[in-house]
Chain A
Amino acid sequence: MMSTLRRVLYAFFIAALLTPAMAQEGALPAGPGAELVYAKCQQCHPLRYVTESAGLPDFLWADTISLMVQLGMQVTAEEEELLYSYLTTYLGMNPPPEPAENDAVAAVSNVDPVQAYATNCSACHGADGAGQAGGFPPIVGHASQLAQADRGYLVNLVLYGVTGPITVAGNDYNGMMPGWSHLSDDQIAAILNHVVADLDPSADLPGGLTPYTPEEIAGARDAGLDANAVYESRPSLP
């Protein structure tokens, strides 16, 4: 039987699974399947068991996955395949070099914006972009207003994060969004275009807005801002 303390701890771990910070520092190398590793492995043990095992031979990753299934990990055959592919590629004996930030454009093509949003943004802003009371502002109906007021603001927001109290449609939010500069220029441009279209892939961009381009993202990477500076630059909305 779980004690109350354990329940509280478990609740915290579940909450911690949603943390955007995990996609950043001290975390997994980006690559297909990374999100699945976050989702599956941390249910039973800290992420450090995975990251500290970087360099395992392929046969040991295969062995580890089957061991974890024996220990109760629930995965489909496809997921098991993806876990193996991710772990042996990015945490295997010959991992690819981490892409330099400027190479990121070349590294990713054909970004699926729906998938990119679901993977990177939905945990906090919601699958439907409605946000979460108190912490995470809505995206639908809000992001496009910001873009129309100052299109560069959203670029900086995603690259450098933002911190400070804001009010959106009469509701207060006081949280901190970390920067997502580890995403490629392509990914960020695709996500922004998806976001300003209110997460409707078939919708046109709101009046006057042209699509964000990877070059535009790349150009903002040299600004060297931080979350406070981005907050100071936030455009005031009517």
Chain B
Amino acid sequence: MTEVLRSALQHVQQREVERRDVLRLLGMSAAATAGLPTLTQFASAQDVALASAVIAGKSDDMIVHNDRSGVMETPLAMLREHRITPKDILYIRNNQILEPQGRSTDGASLEGWTIELRGAVAFPRVVDATTLADLPQEEVTMVLQCSGNGRSFFARAVQTRGTQWQHGGMGQVTFRGPKLSSLLETFDPPLNPSGDVRFVTAEGADAPDEGASRPDFEHSMPMQDVMDKAILAIEMNGEPLSGAHGGPVRLVIPGYYGTMNVKWVHRLRFEASESNNVNQIPRYRIPNDPIEPGTPIDYTFDNSTPNWRQRIKSTIFAPLNEAQVSAGDVEVHGVAWNDGVVGVTEVQISTDDGQTWHAAELEAPTGGYGWYEFRSTVNLPAGEHRIWSRAVDERGNTQPINGAILWNPSGYEWNGADYVDVVAS
């Protein structure tokens, strides 16, 4: 136990992990050292497994939300250490998991994988996924973000339902693969969707748990965006796409929330309407018009929008929340992004709760779907301070100071202005 304690304390010192993570480390390590848990170990055991036990290859410093299907987030202290988020610390959110490859960060094989294209089309096709590597490849560096990222902050108004993500349900990764439109161009005869097709619905090879009555997971996206942007990703960060992140093939739509980037994709349906699958409605939607926090809404296709294009957002990487800093000049560093349709033009910083703002230095990503890095210096006299950041884009979109004005029952698409509380001394 001493060894475990010492290692946990080192974590505290080196990684600034939260207390509950230390408890988690203590509890699970204790249990892991014995063939059968003893009473003492029961007493200290927490109810969450370490990340590597849930998905092989994941860092045990990740915050595990659900150790069954695999839902885990990256502590900001780790996320900020890399321009491209490595696969061992990239967040994961699975509704369903494809066994066995979903349980490992190893690259998954394209051998034997097929993708079916059907729906309101003249000539349905089944594509051998190994041929994807022969097509012209598109590479995109982009923010991959769970639409629930930041959900826990809605509780400042009224608690919302779902995984209580903080900041780390996101990362910046580089996907590579052919554009879906390039694949379609190779078809002879052509797929030839009928004139009224407006949506593409993507299905993964994963399936609901035994005993569940809800339908298989799927998502619909506007066909125009899918044709313009979507790639069939077969690589991530220069390696064959990790099984844990949807390999061998993931439908990737830059600028869209993570949930729409369907993992283990094996079927695409070209249809006139959005799917009425529970994961398209009422899940994964937000109201078109603001609602009073704490009130229900009956979602219809007309009064709501799916978690498609990402809202503009910024996240402060340094200083971290509750950090002790030296009074005087303090460097503020972080990242901002939006849906990539237009550029982020400015990130503003405030140390007086939004009365005055000043622009940070901004470094744009290549491509437009990645992180804009911002840096600024603020002068903090001794005492407690709250440092705010908010991003602005070319359309004039920005982040609300009170993010709860966009409250919705399932807490999707949080994009309130970010802040950290620090003590200068």
Interface residues of A (CB under 8 A from B): 1-3, 5-6, 9, 12-13, 15-16, 18-22, 26, 42, 44-49, 52-57, 59-60, 63-64, 69-72, 74, 93, 124, 135-136, 163, 174-178
Q: Which residue of A lies closest to B42 (CB)?
A: A19
Closest to B163 in A: A49
Q: Which B residues touch A47, using CB under 8 A?
A: 47
User: What residue of chain A has the Cβ atom nearest to residue B410's Cβ?
Assistant: A60
In the assembled complex, which residues on chain A have CB atoms less than 8 Å from the CB atom of B163?
49
Contacts A46-B48, A163-B40, A176-B43 given; 6 further ones with Cβ under 8 A? A3-B100, A45-B68, A56-B161, A60-B409, A64-B161, A176-B39
A45 CA to B159 CA, complexed, in Å: 19
On whether the beta carbons of B53 and A20 are closer than 8 Å, the reply is: no
Please state if B67 and A9 are interface contacts (CB–CB under 8 Å).
yes
List the 6 closest A-B pairs by CB distance, nearest first.
Answer: A175-B39, A55-B159, A72-B211, A70-B214, A19-B42, A72-B212
Chain B contact surface mostly: loop
Give, as a whole number of angstroms, the nearest-CB distance from B91 to chain A.
Answer: 16
Known: A70-B213, A72-B212. A46 touches B43 (CB 8 A): no
**Sample (7) of A-B pairs whose CB atoms are under 8 Å apart:** A6-B103, A12-B31, A16-B45, A44-B68, A46-B67, A72-B210, A72-B212
Q: Shortest CB–CB separation between residue B318 and chain A, in angstroms?
A: 26
Is the Cβ of A54 less than 8 Å from the Cβ of B44?
no
How near does chain B come to A44, taking the closest CB pair, in angstroms?
6
Partner of B161, one of A48, A63, A174: A63
Task: Provide the B356-392 mask, 1 if CB < 8 A to any CB of A, else 0.
Answer: 0000000000000000000000000000000000000
Cβ contact within 8 Å between B409 and A22: no
By a CB distance below 8 angstroms, the chain B residues around A163 are 40
Distance of A16 Cα from B67 Cα, bound (Å): 14
- Interchain CB contact under 8 A, A18 and B42: yes
Closest to B293 in A: A57
Task: Please tell me if the beta carbons of A176 and B66 are within 8 angstroms of each other in the complex.
Answer: no
Q: Which residues of B contact A177 (CB under 8 A)?
A: 39
Give the residues in chain B near A57, CB-CB below 8 Å: 158-159, 294-296, 409
Q: Which residues of chain A are within 8 angstroms of B53 by Cβ–Cβ distance?
A: 5, 9
A102 to B210, CA, bound (A): 47
CA distance A124 to B38 in the complex (A): 12
| Interface check B322, CB cutoff 8 A | no
- A50 vs B91: C-alpha distance in the bound complex, in angstroms? 21
Q: Is B329 an interface residue (CB 8 A)?
A: no
Q: State the CA gap A188–B46 with chains docked (Å).
A: 26
Interface string of B67-98 (1 = CB under 8 A from A): 11000000000000000000000000000000
Chain B contact-residue range equals 35 or more
Q: Which of B37, B42, B47, B159 contacts A53 (CB 8 A)?
A: B159
Chain B: CB-nearest residue to A52: B164
Q: What residue of chain B has the Cβ atom nearest to residue A8's Cβ?
A: B53
Contact of A21 with B296 at beta-carbon distance under 8 Å, contacts A71-B214, A135-B38 already known: no
Inter-chain contacts of A124 with B (CB < 8 A): 39
Closest to B161 in A: A60
Judge whether B155 is part of the interface by a CB distance below 8 angstroms. yes
Question: B99 within 8 Å of A by Cβ?
Answer: yes
User: With the chains together, A57 CA to B154 CA distance in Å?
Assistant: 13
List residues of chain B with CB within 8 A of the CB of A22: 47
B contact residues around A46 at 8 Å (CB):
47-48, 64-67
B44, B65, B160: the one contacting A49 at CB < 8 Å is B65
Expressed in whole angstroms, the minimum distance between the Cβ of A136 and any Cβ of chain B is 7
Chain A residue at minimum C-beta to C-beta distance from B282: A63
Residues on A with beta carbons closer than 8 Å to the beta carbon of B43? 19-21, 176, 178
Closest beta carbon of chain A to B241's beta carbon, Å: 21
Name the CB-closest residue of B to A1: B99
**Minimal beta-carbon separation of A121 from chain B (angstroms):** 14
| CB nearest to B44 among chain A residues | A21
With A49-B66, A53-B161, A55-B159 already in contact, the answer to whether A93 and B294 are too (CB < 8 A) is: yes
Kindly identify which residue among A2, A54, A175 contacts B40, using a CB–CB cutoff of 8 Å. Answer: A175
In the bound complex, CA of A230 to CA of B417 (Å): 53
> What distance in Å separates the Cβ of A179 from its nearest Cβ neighbour in chain B?
10
> How far apart are the CA atoms of A64 and B37 in the complex, in Å?
32
Contact (Cβ within 8 A) A56 B296:
no
Whose C-beta in chain A lies nearest to the C-beta of B39? A175
Known A70-B214, A72-B213; contact A13-B47, beta-carbon cutoff 8 A = yes
Are the C-beta atoms of B31 and A135 separated by less than 8 Å? Answer: no
Interfacial chain A residues near B209, Cβ < 8 Å = 44, 71-72
What B residues does A44 contact at CB under 8 A? 68, 209
Interfacial chain B residues near A54, Cβ < 8 Å: 159
Determine if A71 and B212 form an interchain contact, defined as CB atoms under 8 angstroms apart: yes
B315 to chain A, nearest CB (A): 21
Q: How far is the CA of A175 from the CA of B213 in the complex (A)?
A: 42
Interface contact A15-B42, CB-CB below 8 Å: yes
CA distance A26 to B47 in the complex (A): 10
Within 8 A of A (CB), among B148-162: 152, 155, 158-161
Which of chain B's residues have a CB closer than 8 A to the CB of A59?
A: 296, 409
Note all chain A residues with C-beta closer than 8 A to B39.
124, 135-136, 175-177
B66 partner residues in chain A, CB cutoff 8 A: 45-46, 49
A63 to B45, CA, bound (A): 30
**What's the Cα separation between A60 and B212 when bound, in Å?**
20
B111, chain A: closest CB distance, angstroms: 20
Query: In the docked arrangement, what's the CA distance between A177 and B210, Å?
Result: 37
Q: How far is the CB of A230 from chain B (nearest CB, A)?
A: 14
Docked CA distance A63–B299 (Å): 13
Residues of B within 8 A of A70 (CB): 212-214, 278
